[in-house]
Structure 1
């Protein structure tokens, strides 16, 4: 999996007129919150740990809203360019903050894509050809006029025309504004100068055969917010598009083997076909949430960092088959805690519904089709207290249990 995502937030938004006179385009309101916050949540749910926002005009607004915050499991940092540098120049400006490879997204568009599978496709392509520098996410639209048009030869990008290079195209593949990039791309970008990734850098790499593509599924929802008509559309549609049912899994004894206060990465052992069950839930369009009591923290047996490392190991293992958990919630409290800071009768500790209710509040969940799977009575009680259907796991194939529970 990839630890870092970079989101380009420097576009001026000229075509939006007065809407962007005092507001950066990604900060425009959609569903009662900035569009950029929706995008951050969508990226973070695929297991990304760090999200770097490259801001431009009115970057102070993005900095004030997001810099230094931890959102949906990801640490957010904002880098504001000192002058307009374009999409390529912004990467050059951020070079010291870039991982060896990272996801790269436009901050003014949305594509309903599985980023974990996108990264897995990149891994496989890089195994065949280590010289690759980038992978693009193509999407088929009825009118390519406003977008960068792609031509593929197998999984290679054979041609890439920036949206400013032609008029009157009808249907075809476009660049959906999602990439995975090797940091070596920065070697092609002039320092401290404006540069367009789409017009100057990517076409060169395409000519050299160093760009591949991993298309999104047919019919995936795509929209940008670059013109008033599409902004109005995303304000009307995005919340509904994002809303999906969820499966809430207990962890120890349900997804992973319970060895007694399990917290060491080397003790991670999956229950039968648990990874495959999570992959199926991803395929079916369900959120996958893990809700786990971790009183070992309160008892002083391990700390919250150990829990985070264990969950990271789970994500890395899942990524090997193109699967992911959207969010983890854990309760470290116990009324008989040895560590005073964690001595608390907490409503988040199952059988209390707090962890589930917090997830329902933070994510656009369709409750009617959502349910919980767990192996204990506390799981059943927490589900009922949250108004969710409960499914008891008593061993055997988790994939079979899930298949019969939809």
Structure 2
């Protein structure tokens, strides 16, 4: 719920998915679940002009200032439960007859074509697809000739390295890899075993990707949004 501009990051993520036709969401809630529930329960009123009759508590909506047609399920999955446990709980209750589902952490934004990633996922027979990104180096890079610095790059892109960018697609059979045990971490046994079983593919993305792990990350994303220059939200 950390805001970028006047909207929480979860809204930005959902809007990114909705650009590619994904409109059904399950939010796996834990700590401060009531804050997220309140936001979506009141989403209509937060984005509308309305009149409340205090004697009858009737509400008359005059305008709706949003275009979202999302279906959002708010699922409490435990305050201390880890990522794999949350996925196991959510899929156990709400996957239904769906053959595939998407997963993201909720703390990273990208301009990746998630529709193309999903098509890539459908085009192979493996159970999972992970979006891979080239992260910028945390440190400046020096190119040397002996003691002479030939070139300096403040934060070069590590084009030969790929990291887990946190946007997944899975076939429903992946649910056998996760467990409702609160200690089940997606990035540990489930993904390690999936890769070991040769059931995980990477969709490589060399465009914008940015996590929000620190205050500096938040300020960077917020500044992009304020300037109207947010790559994850093209006009």
> Counterpart of 2:52?
none
* Map of 2:121 onto structure 1: 122
> Quick check: 1:96 aligned with 2:96?
no
Q: Size of the alignment, in residue pairs?
A: 190
Partner in structure 2 of residue 84 of structure 1: 80
Distance 1:56 1:137 in 2: 25
Structure 1's 243 and 107: CA in aligned 2 closer, same or farther, altered over 3 A? closer
Contact 2:177 2:194 in 1 (8 A): no
Contact between 2:110 and 2:231, CA under 8 Å: does it hold in 1? Answer: no
Match of 1:111 in 2: 110
**1:184 pairs with 173, 180, 199, which one?**
173
Unaligned runs of 5+ in 1: 1-26, 146-169, 245-362, 366-406
Report deviation, 1:69. 6.3
1:40 and 2:40 aligned: no
Question: Are residue 242 (structure 1) and residue 216 (structure 2) matched?
Answer: no
Check whether the contact 2:83–2:186 (CA below 8 A) recurs between aligned residues: yes
Q: How high is the TM-score relative to the length of structure 1? A: 0.44
Alignment of 1:340-355 (within 5 A): none
Secondary structure of 2:123's counterpart equals helix
For residue 226 of structure 1, report the CA deviation from its aligned partner. Answer: 1.2
Which of these residues, 221, 224, 241, is aligned with residue 211 of structure 2?
224
The answer to whether the 8 A contact 2:109-2:211 is kept is yes
Q: Which has the higher contact order (CA 8 A, sep 6+)?
A: 2
RMSD (Å), alpha carbons? 2.5
Where does 1:5-404 land on structure 2 (aligned, <5 Å)? 27-66=1-40, 72-94=68-90, 95-98=92-95, 99-125=98-124, 129=125, 132-143=126-137, 171=158, 172-216=161-205, 218=206, 220-238=207-225, 240-242=228-230, 365=235
Distance in 2 of aligned mates of 1:201 and 1:34:
29
* 1:284 aligned residue: none
Cα pair 1:68 1:75 within 8 Å, conserved:
no
Instruction: Return closer, same or farther for 1:68/1:118 CA change in 2, 3 Å cut-off.
Output: farther
- Cα deviation, 1:231-273, whole Å, max 9, x if unaligned, reads 11111114534379xxxxxxxxxxxxxxxxxxxxxxxxxxxxx
Indicate if the aligned counterparts of 2:84 and 2:180 stay in contact, CA closer than 8 A: no
SS, match of residue 214 in structure 1: strand
Normalised by the size of structure 2, how large is the TM-score? 0.73
Shift of 1:197: 0.4
Change (3 A) 1:50 1:187: same
Q: Structure 2: 5+ residue runs without aligned partners?
A: 45-66, 140-156
Q: Distance in 2 between matches of 1:29 and 1:49?
A: 21
| Aligned 8 A contact 1:144 1:174 in 2 | no
Secondary structure of 1:141 counterpart: coil
